[in-house]
Structure formats: C-alpha cells, structure tokens
Amino acid sequence: MISDIWRERIYCDITEQRNSYQVTYFPINLKNSNFATLYLTFENILDLEEITKLMELEFYLWLNKFSAPIMVTSFSEDNDQVISLNAVNKSNHLYGYLDINNSIILSWDNSEIEFPDKYYNSDVTNDIYQNMEDTPRKLKEDKARKYMLPRFYVSTLKTTLKALINIRSFKIQLSPIR
C-alpha cells in the first residue's frame, strides 16, 4: 500500500541538463529514508577524477538548494550502469549532509557516515521542500486504485473464463462415449 511507504506529500523529481551530463534530484519521499538521491547520468564517460569532481560540485549545489542529506551516484547513459569509481575512491557513491553546526559532512564511504534521524520526520522534509512542487499521497493512492481495480477485475474475469473453459473441456473428456 502506498500509505505504508510514502510520506503525506510526495515531491517531484527535478532534472537539469548540463554540458556533458544530466542531473536528477530525487527528494526524500519515502518514510523509511532520511536522504535524497542525486543521479548524474553521463552521455560519454569522462576521466574518473573529473566525474568525482563533478559529483562533489553537484553535491554542494544541491545541498545549497535543499539542506537535506544527499547520496550522489553517477551513471553511464549508454547502458544505465553505475560508473565504477573504485580506481579513485572507496565507493561509487558520495554521501553528505549538514550537521547541527551547519558544517558539511562529506564522505565516499557510507560506513563513515550516519545521516541524522531527524530527516525521517515529515515536518522536517516539508520545511526543506516547502517551495517545491508536490502531490498529496492521497491523490497518488486514488490514481493507483483506479488503475489497479479495472486490471484486477479484467484479470480475474479472464482467469475465471479460462477455468470455466478448462472445466467444460475436462467434463467433455470425462463424459462416456456413446
């Protein structure tokens, strides 16, 4: 059920095009998440050092826009795979947030970082994303329900008809030959 995983307000993703890559920001919309995600999708794979610099640059830009913790990941456009940065970093992902003193905590190793629990709170994320376009969860639930119910009935009707046809053919096969 949508209400079990999504927050009351579901914020829209933001996509921006740069010279050699695309950036997509995914706000904190899940109840069990306390960080946003930022994807950099590269048209052509650059030098790995350059990719890490761009990931860090984008981290700072988006942290400045929205003060939510962020995990940054880079992808290759041609095969939609995470770009391996193991040759230059501990991880393929960059993690960071602002601590209570407004100091930036940044790491390429998720074992070294622990996002604050306060971002599990919807009031906190609503404050962060107050100027961002959103959809109430109730509308998404209603839309999902409208989409699922007809499919369920059609699927159930098809299954029932198939079962009736199979039973009828089964009866015909079992009936005595005269």
The domains of the chain are located at: 2-132, 136-178
Mean local confidence (pLDDT), 85-99: 93
Task: Using the predicted structure, report yes or no on whether residue 59 has a pLDDT greater than 70.
Answer: yes
Q: Please, what is the Cα angle at 73 between 71 and 74, to 5 degrees? A: 160
Residue showing tokens 């350059």: 50
Task: Indicate the pTM of the whole model.
Answer: 0.74
Phi and psi torsions of 28, nearest 5° = -75, 100
Looking at the predicted structure, is the pLDDT value of residue 155 above 60? no
52-53-55 Cα angle (round to 5): 65
C-beta separation of 38 from 25 below 8 A: yes
> Terminus-to-terminus CA distance in the chain, angstroms?
55
Pairing type for strands 104-107 and 14-17 reads: unpaired
Return mean pLDDT, the chain.
Answer: 82
Q: Give me the pLDDT at residue 31, please.
A: 80
For position 44, what pLDDT does the model report? 84
Q: Please choose, from the candidates 125, 104, 88, the residue with its C-alpha nearest in 3D space to the C-alpha of residue 11.
A: 125
Q: What confidence tier does 33 reach under pLDDT thresholds 50, 70, 90?
A: confident
* Residue of higher predicted confidence among 59 and 170: 59
What's the confidence (pLDDT) of residue 5?
A: 73
Determine the pLDDT at residue 139. Answer: 75
DSSP 21-81: EEEEEE---BTT--SEEEEEEESS---HHHHHHHHHHHHHHHHHH--S-EEEEEEETTT-P
**Given pLDDT bands bounded at 50, 70 and 90, which one contains residue 55?**
very high
Compute the average pLDDT of residues 92-118. 90
Judged by average pLDDT, the poorest of 23-27, 37-41, 100-104, 153-157 is 153-157
